[in-house]
Amino acid sequence: MLPPKALLDALSTHASRLFSGDTPLPRGEFEAQFKMLLQSTFSKLDLVSRDEFDSQMVVLARTRARLEALEAKIAEMEARSTDVTATNE
């Protein structure tokens, strides 16, 4: 993975090539080339898609809920164990 400064420098260099061409590009072609440039740059980063992020957030929320339920069960079992031990003494 490129360091952020190097990544921005490379992106800037490629973008300036698009702007400084001998003949101006039509808007649609410029947008397509710039989009490809950004996608190429982002592919070099360690990023996840929005869909993947959202699905992992759902998994995390479900895992957190299960963990909280298990913690409550353990606390209840410990309380019962303490009550039984205190009663037997």
Q: What is the pTM of this model?
A: 0.50
* pLDDT band per the 50, 70, 90 thresholds, residue 25: low
Helix (H, G, I), strand (E, B) or coil at 26: coil
**Two tokens at 20?**
């400084």
Q: What pLDDT digit, counting tens, does each position of 31-59 carry?
A: 787 788 778 877 777 788 889 999 999 99
Q: Distance of alpha carbon 62 from its chain centroid, rounded?
A: 18
DSSP class of residue 15 equals H
